[in-house]
């Protein structure tokens, strides 16, 4: 279950971007026996939550971050803004 929680639902063919406890429980119970985990076939949301909590996982929560990848970004942004300003004043 922990391995599945690290993946996105899209990786497994679902339309959702994030797991909900219900969707994760449904997926786990559907595929548990085939994966050799018969006891998880009847796992509900509470069981899923307990397993995820014990592993400090929260797949339903997303942390956003901003990463600056282009060291020339500031210079390029200034050039684009200057070009837009020139076009705006030329059209007036």
Interval 30-53: pLDDT, tens: 999 999 999 999 989 999 999 988
Reference 23, options 64, 54, 59, 57; nearest CA is 59
- What pTM did the predictor assign? 0.61
**pLDDT(25) > 90:** yes
- Domain that includes residue 39, residue range: 2-54
Q: Tell me, yes or no, whether 33 lies in a domain.
A: yes
Q: Tell me, yes or no, whether 48 lies in a domain.
A: yes
Burial class, 59, CB count within 10 angstroms (exposed 0-12 / middle 13-18 / buried 19+):
buried
Q: Tell me, yes or no, whether 36 lies in a domain.
A: yes
pLDDT digit string (tens) for 48-62? Answer: 999 988 988 887 676
Read off the tokens for 61.
Answer: 């929560």
Q: Tell me, yes or no, whether 81 lies in a domain.
A: no
**pLDDT(7) > 80:** yes
Domain count, the chain: 1
Contacts of 14 (CB under 8 A, 6+ apart): 23, 27
Q: Tell me, yes or no, whether 41 lies in a domain.
A: yes
């Amino acid at each position: 279950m922990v391995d599945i929680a690290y993946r996105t639902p899209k990786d497994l063919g679902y339309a959702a971007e994030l797991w909900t406890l219900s969707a994760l429980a449904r997926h786990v119970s559907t595929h548990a026996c085939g994966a050799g985990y018969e006891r998880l076939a009847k796992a509900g949301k509470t069981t899923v939550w307990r397993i995820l909590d014990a592993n400090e996982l929260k797949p339903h929560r997303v942390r956003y971050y901003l990463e600056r990848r282009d060291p020339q970004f500031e210079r390029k942004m200034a050039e684009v803004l200057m070009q837009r300003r020139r076009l705006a004043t030329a059209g007036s």
